Structure 1
Amino acid sequence: MKLSVIGCGYLGAVHAASMASIGHDVVGIDIDAGKIDDLSRGVAPFFEPGLTEILSEGIASGRLSFTTEIAAAAGAAVHFIGVGTPQQKDGYAADLTFVDEAIDALLPSLTPGDIVAGKSTVPVGTASMRAGRVEATGATLVWNPEFLREGWAVQDTIDPDRLVVGVPATSAGERAAEVLRKVYHPAVSKGTPFIVTDFATAELVKVAANAFLATKISFINAMAEIAEVTGADVTLLADAIGHDERIGRRFLGAGIGFGGGCLPKDIRAFSARAEELGRGESVNFLREMDTINLRRRERAVSLVVDALDGSVFGSSITVLGAAFKPHSDDIRDSPGLDVAVRLRGLGANVTVTDPAAVENARRVHPQLTYAQDRDTALRGADAVVLVTEWDEYRRQLSPDHAASLTRGRVIVDGRNALDPAAWRAAGWSYYGMGRP
Structure 2
Amino acid sequence: MRCTVFGTGYLGTTHAICMAELGHHVLGVDTDPGKITKLSSGQLPFYEPDLEPLLRRNLAVGRLHFTTSYPDAAQFADLHILTVGTPSAADGHTADLTDLYAVANQLAALIERPAVILGKSTVPAGTAARLAAHLREQSPTCDFELAWNPEFLREGHALQDALRPDRIVLGVDMERTLGRSRAEQQARHLYADQLKAGVPLVVTNLETAELAKMAANAYLATKISFINAISDLCEGVGADVRALADILGHDPRIGRFGLDAGIGFGGGCLPKDLRALAKQAGELGAVDAAMLLREVEQINLHRRVRVVDLARQACGGSLRAAHVAVLGAAFKAESDDVRDSPALHVSAAIQQHGAFVTVYDPKALDNARQSYPTLTFATTITHACENADVVLVLTEWEQFAALNPDELTRLVRNRSIIDGRSSLDSTRWREAGWAYRAPGIPKTCDQLSP
TM class by shorter chain equals over 0.9
1:419 aligns with 2:420: no
Within 5 Å, which residues of 2 pair with 1:54-203? 54-75=54-75, 76-134=77-135, 136=140, 137-169=142-174, 170-171=177-178, 174-203=181-210
2:78–2:113: 8 Å Cα contact kept in structure 1?
A: no
Structure 1 match to 2:246: 239
Deviation at 1:278, TM superposition (A): 2.5
Give yes or no for contact 1:143–1:166 (8 Å, CA) kept in 2: yes
2:332 aligned to which of 314, 325, 328: 325
Provide the secondary structure at the position in 1 that maps to 2:109.
helix
Deviation at 1:112, TM superposition (A): 3.7
Q: Which runs of 5+ in 1 are unaligned?
A: none
User: In the aligned structure 1, how far is the partner of 2:160 from the partner of 2:256?
Assistant: 22
Residue 91 to residue 260, structure 1, CA distance change in 2 (3 Å):
closer
| Match among 278, 284, 295 for residue 288 of structure 1 | 295
- Output the CA distance in 2 between the equivalents of 1:192 and 1:241: 28
C-alpha separation between the residues in 2 aligned to 1:296 and 1:82? 32
Deviates more, 1:153-162 or 1:302-311: 153-162
Residue 392 (structure 2) pairs with residue 391 (structure 1): no
C-alpha distance after superposition, 1:176-217 (max 9, x if no partner): 101111001110111110111100110111111111111110
Give the fraction of aligned pairs with identical amino acids, expressed as a percent. Answer: 49
What residue identity is the alignment partner of 1:423?
Answer: W
> Under a length normalisation based on structure 1, what TM-score does the superposition of the two structures give?
0.97
Query: Does the CA contact (< 8 Å) of 2:218 and 2:293 recur in 1?
Result: yes
DSSP-derived class of the 1:27 partner: strand
Counterpart for residue 308 of structure 1: 315
Residue 268 of structure 1: aligned partner:
275
| Matched residues, number | 435
Of the structure 1 ranges 67-76 and 414-423, higher mean CA displacement relative to structure 2 is found in 67-76
What is the CA deviation profile of residues 137-174 of structure 1, one whole-angstrom value per residue up to 9, with x for unaligned ones?
11110000000000011221111111010011214862
Q: Is the 8 A contact 2:324 2:390 kept in 1?
A: yes
Q: Using the alignment, how far apart are the partners of 1:399 and 1:92 within structure 2?
A: 43
Q: Does 1:48 align with 2:53?
A: no
Q: Does 1:277 align with 2:284?
A: yes
Say whether 1:353 aligns with 2:360.
yes
1:434 to 434, 440, 446: 440
Conserved 8 A contact 1:27-1:72: no
Distance 1:52 1:171 in 2: 41
The CA deviation at 1:281 is: 3.1
Deviations 1:221-257 (A, max 9, x none): 0101112222221111111121111111111000000
Instruction: Give the aligned partner of residue 379 of structure 1.
Output: 386
Tell me which residue corresponds to 2:8.
8
